[in-house]
Amino acid sequence: METDAIWLTFKLAGVTTLALLVLGAPLAWWLATTRSAVKPVIEAVTALPLVLPPTVLGFYLLILFNPDAPIGRLWVQLSGDTLTFSFEGLVAASILYSLPFMVQPLQSAFAAVGRAPLEAAASLRAHPLDAFLTVAAPLAGRGFLTATVLTFAHTVGEFGVVLMVGGNIPGETRVVSIAIYEQVETLRYADAHALSATLLAFCAIALLVVYAVNRRFPTHVG
């Protein structure tokens, strides 16, 4: 069994999900509450990874992360390592690739919470951040669960972007999907079966958890 690849995959998915919780929740909150004219633009950009072929996203990221490009060069100066063909580069790419899976469920959850409970919180002197943490976030709990599981599972399942940006370096960028691809290419079907079945079981269980909990989670809103 490719334990290195499995561990790396879960590490990548975990780090990406945590990073997206921190970055995606404020973005989703802003999208759910803003009356700004640029909202449709931001929504469209956020949804792009849903429709773009992963190779397109991966190609542009490869160009951006290149040590000769400004972002890639900055990263080399800061960390001494390149963004291309490194775990850090994979995390950065995964954050962009999985962004809609975090933002969209959260945005609809926040929209369902609405302004009413937050006005009530404000009238009790709760600062907006206080109101977000103590009222909006708990009421959007179901959205957080859905977004977290979908982001994690979607990151586990990515292939094209990883291949373009990370390549196939064992222990650094060789995640499960890449390992399976290589096993099939080299006709090691038994290994490919084992790893594929593991991934299939994981994804099925993750989705089952989301749907089961979604059904039983008490609906607070409404």
Give the footprint of another protein on this chain (CB under 8 A): 116-117, 119-128, 130-131, 134-135, 138-139, 141, 220-221
Q: How far is the CB of 216 from another protein (least distance, A)?
A: 16
Measure the CA–CA gap between 165 and 118, rounded to whole angstroms: 42
Q: Which is nearer to another protein, 138 or 170 (CB)?
A: 138
Q: How far is the CB of 138 from another protein (least distance, A)?
A: 5
Q: How far is the CB of 139 from another protein (least distance, A)?
A: 6
Q: How far is the CB of 145 from another protein (least distance, A)?
A: 14
Measure the CA–CA gap between 195 and 185, rounded to whole angstroms: 14
Q: Which is nearer to another protein, 3 or 219 (CB)?
A: 219
Which phi and psi (to 5°) does residue 147 adopt? -65, -40
Q: Which is nearer to another protein, 48 or 120 (CB)?
A: 120
Q: Which is nearer to another protein, 14 or 138 (CB)?
A: 138
Query: In this structure, what token pair is assigned to residue 142?
Result: 């179901």
Q: Residue 144: what residue type?
A: F
